[in-house]
A and B are shown apart, each in its own frame.
Chain A
Amino acid sequence: MKNTKLVLSLFAAAVAVAGCSKETPKPAAKDAGQAPAASGAEVKIGHVGPLTGGIAHLGKDNENGARLAVEEANSAGIKIGGKTVKFTFVAEDDQADPKVGTTVAQKLVDARVAGVVGHLNSGTSIPASPIYNQAGIPVISGSATNPKLTEQGYKNQFRVVGRDDQQGPAIASYLASAKKPKVVAIIDDATAYGEGIANEVEKTLKAAKIQVLPREKGTDKTTDWKAVLTKLRGRNPDAVFYGGMDATGGPLMKQGRELGMKAVFSFGDGACTDKMQELAGNAAEGLLCSQAGIPPQAASKKFLDAYKKKFNSDPILYAPFTYDAANLLIEAMKKADSSDPKVYLPELQKISFSGATGQIAFDDKGDRKDAEMTIFTMKGGKIEPIAVIKSGKTQTYDEFVKTMGK
């Protein structure tokens, strides 16, 4: 009996320890929030991103972008419905957790925000989207790239970055034209992201009449890629594409070079970070990878200067996009002369706006038309942009920056 108790208490302790990293707040079930009061003196604009946890720095960066736009609008003294409005910025933390994401979405709906910028992650944006949709509040994400977000048929859901299914073709066509490989090997990590982008790459390469070897797979926890790479080495591919994150992509590339593979290694945005250099060392040099959108340093000079002045630092990743997202909401309200979501939503759908990240217009789904994709390479231990792909056309990065400078 004593032992049974001991076993049980140990088990309970184990469960408690294992459970402490998870939190399970139930999203409040609530009927559709009412539309916020039309054209008042105060208009609330919400922002959601992770402000705590592993990617808190990116969440703060996103928030700063949107905050800057709102404060600029306030100092410009915008008039809606004849009255000068004061925009209030409501920042929420979703901890990059889907469950918390739905809770704070409900909180914003209850606070009667007129529009929302966010969320940062696809994983939090997708579950939160039905809540905003039910309340009819326009939401613009500046960083969620999963295609599913805008495939749900919600009229109020937008994004100002590209989609993963635009990114795959972009990196594949760049690889095909810049490196002219005859045989390409494709590996993925068997996750929705990795498999999805690998499939897009394979489609594009096959359409370009490039031979693609049978797909190899790992997992998102694989550390030993040698068996796969040895097999591939025997078939002598000119290039390798890996759909997965940097934590697995780094070791993959390092081990490939150790085995003496000369192929060009290419990756999607999950492995398009400086961390690749840490994980693969010098072996990472020369890799190709893509990111949805443009690098922050390519955003308009006006935005970059204002950001630097306000926050005394440079934007990290998606701040120019959240800045544009907030400006789009404000612009649509101005055009409609109302902050009522029902009234200004149609304006947002047909908007054409020149933002910090270039010209923005939305298609029927709420995706950005002609979203840019940027190709990077690893040079001297840092990833550097080398080309920008927009509506199927490739420009070198320097040319692109010149057109943005105007």
Chain B
Amino acid sequence: MDTFLQQVINGLTAGSVYAVVALGYTMVYGIIQLINFAHGEVVMIGAMVAFTVINALAPSGLPPLVVVLIGAGCAVPVCVLVGYSMERLAYRPLRHAPRLAPLITAIGVSIILQHLALLIWSRNVLAFPQIIPSRTYMIGGAAISSIQIAILGICFALMAGLAVLVYRTRLGTAMRATAQNPQVAGLMGIDINRVIAATFVIGAGLGAIAGVLFGTYYGLAQYTMGSILGLKAFSAAVLGGIGNIPGAMLGGVLLGIVEALGAGYIGDFTNLCAYESLAARISDCDGGGNFVLFGSNYQDVFAFIVLILVLVFRPSGLLGERVGDRA
């Protein structure tokens, strides 16, 4: 039981980071129906910038928490700038082009950002300075570290903050109006260019924080980290219903848990020696041996299995309602 609880806690932590990244995908999709494949790279740049800043400040003797906050404080504006220029330079000129053009552009932007990071930060795995002392608490046999608690707290606060922004402010109302019908929103006096830029900026800012959280949680950053993280967050967004903000939050958390439980238990379920009728026929099983079909190295596969299942059985996602209409 404590193993199960631990897997859920692990999944919840990873999932809440996915959720914050997924918000960036889903907000942009909700407004301009573009899957911004470069969003994972924005997250990576956030982690890299934070790495550089924290590394530079770590020996300065400032309190660790302040150093990390300054790191995040530098990562957010950089990512916001990247997000804004991406929209302004790459996507806005293609706003009225056929849908394939911006999509391919997004992939191009992602490759450009990744290689820029390669040039700046090298291809090595960068070790995130571990300056925050992590304390571990035991709850019912499961360990939860202070960093995990902080990640959960920050992610849920960000999600709540975004919900307030979207459903309670003028900008949020403008965003929702633009999402429903950009032309009509424009006629109502909404500057849709500004709203779309704001969407990118908010998504990139969230991505930057997610990058910093990811870096401090796992203790490393690399120029390639954005692609797999981005794909998982994208799957989470689709799981929740792409374009739907609460859906991305739910999808992210669910995906994290599915992944943790999947990776934790797949080895046991596909150990053919555990099934008596099969065990007799497999020589590897003799004397307590094992014959495992799929090990935990298939962890990353679960996100994509979920993606495929959702696309086949519920293309609009768990909370999505109106994806079909303009897609």
B interface with A by C-beta (< 8 Å): 2-3, 6-7, 10, 14, 97-98, 100-101, 104-105, 107-108, 111-112, 115, 118, 122-125, 127, 130, 134, 136, 138, 143, 145, 218-220, 222, 224-225, 228, 259-265, 267-268, 271, 290, 292, 295-297, 299-300
Assembly CA distance A10 to B94 (angstroms): 13
Given contacts A227-B263, A233-B3, A260-B138, contact A14 B108 (CB under 8 A): yes
Assembly CA distance A70 to B168 (angstroms): 78
Contact of A13 among B2, B14, B108 (CB under 8 A): B108
Assembly CA distance A20 to B111 (angstroms): 12
Contact of A230 among B10, B122, B267, B268 (CB under 8 A): B10
Contact of B145 among A14, A258, A282 (CB under 8 A): A258
**A6→B101 contact, CB < 8 A:** yes
**A227→B296 contact, CB < 8 A:** yes
**Stretch from A71-79, A81-89, A246-254 that touches the partner:** A246-254
Smallest CB separation, B31 vs chain A (Å): 22
Contact of A247 among B101, B220, B271 (CB under 8 A): B220
Assembly CA distance A297 to B201 (angstroms): 54
How many pairs of A and B residues are in contact by the CB < 8 Å rule? 125
Do most interface residues of chain B lie in helix, strand or loop, or is the interface mixed?
Answer: helix
A interface with B by C-beta (< 8 Å): 3, 6-7, 10-11, 13-14, 17-18, 20-21, 54, 190, 214-219, 221-224, 226-228, 230-231, 233-234, 247, 250-251, 254-255, 258-260, 275, 278-282
Assembly CA distance A231 to B292 (angstroms): 15
Smallest CB separation, A192 vs chain B (Å): 14
Give 14 CB contacts A-B under 8 Å: A14-B111, A21-B118, A190-B297, A214-B267, A216-B296, A222-B299, A224-B14, A227-B10, A227-B296, A227-B299, A230-B264, A234-B2, A251-B218, A251-B219
Closest A residue, CB atoms, query B292: A214
**B3→A231 contact, CB < 8 A:** yes
Contacts of A214 in B (CB 8 A): 267, 271, 290, 292
Assembly CA distance A251 to B222 (angstroms): 13
Closest A residue, CB atoms, query B1: A234
**B115→A17 contact, CB < 8 A:** yes
**A218→B296 contact, CB < 8 A:** yes
Contacts of B222 in A (CB 8 A): 247
**B108→A10 contact, CB < 8 A:** yes
Smallest CB separation, B46 vs chain A (Å): 16
Contact of B111 among A6, A17, A251 (CB under 8 A): A17
**A10→B105 contact, CB < 8 A:** yes
**B143→A259 contact, CB < 8 A:** yes
Assembly CA distance A255 to B134 (angstroms): 11
Contact of B125 among A13, A234, A279 (CB under 8 A): A279
Contacts of A7 in B (CB 8 A): 100-101, 104
**A279→B123 contact, CB < 8 A:** no
